Amino acid sequence: MKPIDIKKLNLVINKSMIKFLNIKKQDKKIKNFILKDIKKIINKNNFILGEEVHNFEKSFAKFCNTKYAISCANGTDALTIALKILNLPKNSEVIIPAMTYCSTAFAVINAGLNPVLVDLEKNKPTICIDEIKKKITRRTKVIMPVHLYGSVVNIKKIKKIINNKKIYIVDDCSQAHGAKFEDKRVGSLSDISCFSLYPGKNLGAYGDAGIITTNNKKLYIKAKNFRNLGSDKKFFHTQIGFNSRLDTIQAVVLTQKLKNLEKYNKKRSQIAKYYDENITNKDISKLIYSKGSVYHQYVILVKNRIKLEKLLNANKIQYGFHYPQSIHQLDCLKNKFKRKKFENSETIAKKCLSLPIDPTLKFNEIKKIVSVLNTF
């Protein structure tokens, strides 16, 4: 299957459209609280690792039902830090899905490790667990599943495959804040969990931000030091770390926004249910999401994507692509994965189109989207 030319995809941004993402509207009711809290930080001058950072970490750990949370500068760093603190032999293998955001793979490479790709399950956004089993070698030290689009990977099954081998599970939860597997929250399922808090995420800051959760005290202490240049105490550097701290200003933004997360996740699920039940066009395939998914993206597959783009543009409906290339198709990695085939990931890359699923969408907007799709 030939990779599509990403230059041919035109992302549309126009104020009068049905928006793909509307952070301003999402935060309308809490904006004044956020501004008040930011003002307090400015007056206090505690911009770096202020007590508000610690408070946010505590709230997020409680939300995920984990013992510890360590904030950092972004989701890519969260993943990289998680891998670095495991002190694995160079070039150890880390199993990741072939379809994910580039950061999952880059974090592995930047940590001096070797990404091993596994395809997604057919018609699902999650990694194929039977394929993971086939890719485990003596060098496999980490399995890094991604809860892509907010759909939760069955970590219980992965644990069964690992059995008693010394392989860590570090899950990329960047698209699944608040999602659940059975009665457990994402963030509490693995040895280490990593979240991006990029503005467009289900929980997003007003800039770059990220957070790590774990129940392991040793890993918690290591990660906490690592994100602060390997230091817990000024001028004492016990390891060579990153400068990857969450700004105190972002911590107060996130503390306010965490209060809306569950409500907005429910809205996303309602919109997804409406799409599931009412998009009837046979030329559109829907993906199967996990129970407990938080629908960070609602992705459909279409054969004639250019035609659909034209129709959506004409109807002023914004859309996205997650993602138009899988990991082995990225310019910087295609030589590394030459001759590798990941059929299901390639299908998503070629046919995917993400529909608006912003929790502030009005019912008539969702209805309009569905009727446009059904006439395509």
Ligand X SMILES: Cc1ncc(COP(=O)(O)O)c(C=O)c1O
DSSP one-letter code for 141: E
Given 71, 151, 174, 256, the residue binding ligand X (CB under 6 A): 174
Nearest distance from C-beta of residue 215 to ligand X, angstroms: 21
Cα angle value 76/77/82 (rounded, 5°): 105
Given 76, 188, 344, 345, the residue binding ligand X (CB under 6 A): 76
Nearest distance from C-beta of residue 148 to ligand X, angstroms: 6
**Under rule CB under 6 A, residue 101 binds ligand X:** yes
Nearest distance from C-beta of residue 309 to ligand X, angstroms: 22
**Under rule CB under 6 A, residue 100 binds ligand X:** yes
Given 103, 190, 214, 250, the residue binding ligand X (CB under 6 A): 103
Residue 355 CA to chain centroid, in angstroms? 17
Nearest distance from C-beta of residue 285 to ligand X, angstroms: 22
Q: What's the CA gap between 279 and 358, in Å, rounded?
A: 18
DSSP one-letter code for 336: T
Given 71, 104, 202, 345, the residue binding ligand X (CB under 6 A): 104
Rg for the chain (alpha carbons), in Å? 21
Q: What's the CA gap between 169 and 158, in Å, rounded?
A: 8
Q: Which residue's Cβ lies closest to ligand X?
A: 75
Nearest distance from C-beta of residue 76 to ligand X, angstroms: 3
Site pattern 235..274 for ligand X (x: CB under 6 A): ----------------------------------------
CA distances from 314 to 5, 299, 318 (A): 22, 20, 10
The residues with which 48 forms a beta bridge, in sequence order, are 247
Helices (H), 65-117: 75-84, 102-110
Site for ligand X in 123-162 (CB under 6 A): 146
Nearest distance from C-beta of residue 164 to ligand X, angstroms: 29
Residue 126: how many other CB atoms lie within 10 Å: 23
Q: Which amino acid is at 61?
A: A
Point out which span in 97-105, 230-238, 286-294, 345-353 binds ligand X (CB under 6 A): 97-105
Given 196, 213, 347, 354, the residue binding ligand X (CB under 6 A): 196
Q: What's the CA gap between 228 and 248, in Å, rounded?
A: 14
261 and 246 Cβ atoms separated by less than 8 Å: no
Q: What DSSP string describes 240-264?
A: ---B---BHHHHHHHHHHHHHHHHH
**Under rule CB under 6 A, residue 75 binds ligand X:** yes
Q: What's the CA gap between 60 and 14, in Å, rounded?
A: 34
Nearest distance from C-beta of residue 182 to ligand X, angstroms: 22
Nearest CB to ligand X, comparing residues 37 and 208: 208
Chain contacts with ligand X (rule: CB under 6 A): 74-76, 100-101, 103-104, 146, 172, 174-175, 196, 198, 208, 210
